[in-house]
């Protein structure tokens, strides 16, 4: 009987082979990962679409409950909140009970790199306001019919990236309560 009857133990990888695999994986990750990063423009657009949706939710709640609803913007804290006149007394104090009664979005903070601002963009067509939040006292109010209060109030809220002054969106609310979403392009202005 020969001494070589036992099978050999499996051979491992050399350090050179392991380093080659790590290098290849690292190069692939360096090429692929930047494609998954959200651009400033996309981040602003997503925040603007969320704001437009939240304003529409507030108006819909005013219509469905036949009560007054407010969306209040706090530029210093980069937040906005929705409130429903849950006791029907015709006033909103922006209390916890009122934002819970809205059953919508409560108080929402803007994403980390987004701010209330026009950035490098001018006003949207028809906006004569000069600020980032163009509503009286920084709030939108809807009556029980979903119309803005006081009657005929219109306004715009601008959101911009802190890193790209040309990444700007606008959410416009008409006196009838309709919400329009605008995107600023560096080449073509507002669309």
Provide the β-strand partners of residue 69. Answer: 84, 142
Cα–Cα distance measured from residue 157 to residue 136, given in angstroms and rounded to the nearest whole number: 12
| pLDDT tier at 13, thresholds 50, 70, 90 | confident
* For residue 150, cis peptide bond before it (omega within 30 degrees of 0): yes
Nearest one of 130, 190, 191, 127 to 155, comparing CA atoms: 127
Upper half-sphere CA count for residue 62 (Cβ side, 13 Å): 26
Instruction: Examine the pLDDT at 34 and tell me if it is beyond 80.
Output: no
Instruction: Examine the pLDDT at 37 and tell me if it is beyond 90.
Output: no
- Per-residue model confidence (pLDDT) at position 63: 94
pLDDT in tens, 109-156: 999 999 999 999 989 998 877 789 999 899 999 999 999 998 888 899
Residue with tokens 């005929």: 152
Instruction: Examine the pLDDT at 1 and tell me if it is beyond 60.
Output: no
Provide the β-strand partners of residue 145. Answer: none
Query: For 68-104, b where at least 16 C-beta lie within 10 A, e where not — what string?
Result: bbbbbbbbeebebbbbbbbeeeeebeeeeebbebbeb
| pLDDT tier at 183, thresholds 50, 70, 90 | very high
CATH topology of domain 39-190: minor pseudopilin epsh fold (3.55.40)
The domain limits of the chain are: 39-190
Instruction: Examine the pLDDT at 182 and tell me if it is beyond 80.
Output: yes
User: How would you write 69-131 as a 3-class SS string?
Assistant: EEEEEECCCCEEEEEECCCCCCCCCCCHHHHHHHCCCCEEECCCCEEECCCCCCCCCCCCCCC
pLDDT in tens, 60-117: 999 999 999 999 999 999 999 999 999 989 899 999 999 899 987 889 999 999 999 9
In this prediction, residues 39-45 reach a mean pLDDT of 91
| pLDDT tier at 12, thresholds 50, 70, 90 | confident
């Amino acid at each position: 009987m020969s001494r070589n009857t036992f099978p050999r133990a499996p051979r491992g990888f050399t350090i050179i082979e392991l380093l080659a695999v790590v290098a290849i994986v690292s190069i692939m990750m360096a090429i692929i990962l930047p494609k998954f990063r959200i651009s400033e423009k996309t981040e602003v657009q997503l925040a603007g679409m969320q704001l437009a949706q939240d304003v529409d939710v507030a108006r819909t709640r005013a219509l469905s409950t036949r009560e007054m609803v407010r969306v209040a913007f706090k530029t210093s804290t980069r937040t906005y909140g929705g409130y429903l006149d849950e006791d029907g007394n015709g006033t909103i104090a922006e209390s916890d009970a009122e934002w819970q009664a809205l059953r919508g979005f409560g108080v929402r903070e803007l994403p980390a790199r987004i701010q209330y601002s026009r950035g490098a963009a001018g006003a949207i067509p028809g906006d004569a306001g000069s600020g980032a939040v163009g509503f009286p006292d920084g709030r939108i109010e809807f009556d029980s019919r979903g119309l803005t209060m006081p009657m005929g109030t219109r306004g715009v809220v601008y959101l911009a990236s802190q890193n790209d002054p040309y990444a700007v969106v606008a959410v416009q609310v008409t006196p009838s309560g309709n919400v329009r979403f605008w995107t600023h392009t560096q080449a073509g202005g507002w669309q």
